[in-house]
Structure 1
Amino acid sequence: MVRWQPGTRERLQGTALQLFSEHGYDETTVAEIAAAADVTERTFFRHFADKREVLFAGQDDFLGMFSAPVEDAPAGTPPFELVRRALDAAAAFFPDDRRAWSRTRQRVIDAVPALGERELGKLANLKVHLGATLRTHGVAEPAATIAAETAVTVFHLSFARWIAEDEDRDFGTIVHERLDALAEVVHPGR
Structure 2
Amino acid sequence: MSTNKFPAESLRDRKRRQARERIIEVAFTLFIERGFDVVTVDEIAQRAEIGRTTFFRYFSDKQEVVFSAEDDFLRALNEAMRDTPTEPLRDLTQALNTSRRLLLAICTEAAHYPSQYEVYHRLVKKYPELEDRHNRKTRRYADLLETHLIDHCTPPAIAILASQVTIACYQAAWRLGTHDATAVLREANDAFDLLLGTPPHDPED
Q: TM-score, normalised by structure 2?
A: 0.76
DSSP-derived class of the 1:142 partner: helix
Distance 1:126 1:4, change over 3 A: closer
Q: Is the 8 A contact 1:135 1:144 kept in 2?
A: yes
Whether 1:76 aligns to 2:88 is yes
**How does 1:3-22 map onto structure 2 within 5 Å?**
7-22=18-33
Structure 1 residue 86 corresponds to structure 2 residue 102:
yes
1:140 counterpart residue number? 155
Aligned positions of 1:112-151 closer than 5 A: 112-151=127-166
Pairs aligned (count): 180
Gaps of 5+ in 2: 4-16, 199-205
Distance 1:109 1:171 in 2: 15
Secondary structure of the residue aligned to 2:50 is coil
Establish whether residue 53 from structure 1 lines up as the match of residue 64 from structure 2.
yes
* Distance in 2 (alpha carbons) for counterparts of 1:130 and 1:177: 19
Counterpart position of 2:8: none
CA distance in 1, matches of 2:75, 2:181: 26
TM-score (norm 1): 0.82
Structure 1 unaligned segments of length 5 or more: list them: none
Are the structure 2 counterparts of residues 168 and 57 from structure 1 closer, same or farther at C-alpha, using a change threshold of 3 Å? closer
Deviation, 1:11, is: 1.4
Which residue in 2 is equivalent to 1:104?
Answer: 119
The one-letter code matched in structure 1 to 2:116 is W
Does the 8 Å contact 1:76/1:138 carry over to 2?
A: yes
User: Are positions 1:27 and 2:50 aligned together?
Assistant: no
Q: 1:153 to 1:66 in 2, by over 3 A?
A: farther
Matching residue's letter, 2:30: L
CA RMSD of aligned residues (A): 2.6
Paired-residue identity, %: 26
- Once the two structures are TM-superposed, the CA of residue 101 in structure 1 deviates from its matched residue by 1.9
